[in-house]
Amino acid sequence: MAARTAITDPYAIYEDPAFDIARKQFAAISQHLNIPADEGDRLLLPKRAITVSVPVHLDDDSTAVFTGYRVQHHLTMGPTKGGTRFAPNLTLGETAALSIWMSWKCALANLPYGGAKGGVCCDPRKLSLRELEGVSRRYMQEMIPFVGPHTDVMGPDMGTGEQVMAWFMDTYSMYVGHSVNAIVTGKPTYLGGSVGRKESTGRGVAFLAERALDVLKIDPTGKTVIVQGFGNVGSIAAASLYYKTQMKITGISDHTCAFYDAKGLPFEKFEKHMESNRDLSNFDGAPRIDPGEMILQPCEVLIPAAVEAVIDGDNAGRLQCRVLAEGANGPTTPAADAILDQRWDEIFVVPDILCNAGGVIVSYFEWVQDLQSLFWNESEVADKLFRILDASFQQVVRRAKAEKISHRLAALAIAVERVRKAKNTRGLFP
């Protein structure tokens, strides 16, 4: 019998293109901040990575076993915090990458959290509501030993939303014997959710896109926006820029198709369509375009708000936007970054850990409100959110300018420095 070989590379279990992006970004930041390799491993490798089986009875009386993950990146500054993704191709490595980005995002916004991320490898679009409830409850059940309002707080991400968060909260609460609303964020407001949470990520993206246009001295009125992904983040960012800022939405896509009209798309019709449809596949109120071509069209603001690695070494040189506002997590590969670094005076990048931080910031507000059982109104939430985003934006722009580095490197430098200092001050445990 062949002898077993121990896997000595601690990174091997995370092998995945998204993890590769997170690792390469960290290598760049380590070099910039002169972080020694051993300390770098401690900063980058997740504290815990949990894999569980999620067996569920399906509607046809068969049983399916889905795989669930939760990765908690670090517990140095408080509990971990992060979304839950239900997606058919989710991997442990992708989950780990997303947890690492959450850590940097929380640190940049000065939130008392480490990053986490989790999810189930399933296609929620193919599950009935009852099956989705089965997956959600069983996944949370499996996670109970590892989560808690002071250990790890879950939130929504792609493929999950308020209903899934309510099932998570209910499953956890049944286990402990009383209602624990601080176990998840992104719940309905009548279960302890925060007003403005659902809109927070998209509104934050729109706010920062406007701040970037402001730096470029571009008046946004009547200027153009292309948005990839028309879910929570993309649709709300677009709505904010359309209704509040009076910009023109010229491109919209989802995972099924893309639409483009240089004169402006009929935005209200897209919103109306989504009220009664799951996707845009049978929308026929605007001209279609190849989805890959859509993001290459000229515009003032391009918002990738779907999946990772959509801006790569092949298309980064052909982007024609003035502002790249990264609504999605990890939409830009390191190869694309190298090109965008050369194009810094043409394209203003608002990096993901800054651009989409609105979601975790209001999640933090939700958690604080739940722990205190004292709830704020919408203007208090919005005011506090925009103040934190604006402060982070200014710090990033200032640091990038001072050190002649990209906005992404500047954002990561600020975030990694904060986590590093906390780890070095505390010691090895967390």
Q: Which residues are catalytic?
A: 117
Nearest CA to 253 among 297, 222, 213, 221? 297
Stretch that binds ligand NAD, among 61-69, 228-236, 243-251, 419-427 (CB under 6 A): 228-236
Report the nearest approach of ligand NAD to the CB of residue 305 (Å): 5
- Cβ neighbours of residue 248 closer than 8 Å, sequence gap 6 or more: 222, 223, 224, 225, 242, 263, 264
The answer to whether residue 303 forms part of the interface with ligand NAD (CB under 6 A) is: no
Question: What tokens does 167 get?
Answer: 């099932």
The residue nearest ligand NAD at its CB is 231
Q: Which is nearer to ligand NAD, 206 or 233 (CB)?
A: 233
Q: Is 229 in the site for ligand NAD (CB under 6 A)?
A: yes
Nearer to ligand NAD, 327 or 334 (CB): 327
CB of 421 to ligand NAD, least distance (A): 25
How do 80-87 and 152-156 pair as beta strands? parallel
Among 25, 99, 103, 253, binds ligand NAD (CB under 6 A): 253
Give the other-Cβ count within 10 Å of 347's Cβ. Answer: 18
Q: Give the x-and-dash track for 320-349 against ligand NAD (CB under 6 A).
A: -------xxx--------------------
Residue type, 247: M
**Of 72 and 232, which CB lies nearer to ligand NAD in the complex structure?**
232
Sequence-distant (6+) residues with CB within 8 A of 245 are 206, 210, 220, 221
196 vs 220, which CB is nearer to ligand NAD? 196
**Which 147-176 positions form the footprint of ligand NAD (CB under 6 A)?**
156-159
* 204 contacts ligand NAD (rule: CB under 6 A): no
For residue 405, give Cα distances in angstroms to 24, 338, 401, 409. Answer: 16, 12, 7, 6
Q: State the number of binding residues for ligand NAD (CB under 6 A).
A: 25
**Conformational region of residue 63, where left means phi above 0, alpha means psi within -120 to 50, and beta covers everything else:** beta
3-state secondary structure of 286: coil
List interacting residues with ligand NAD (CB under 6 A). Answer: 156-159, 201, 228-234, 253-255, 279, 291, 305-307, 327-329, 356, 359
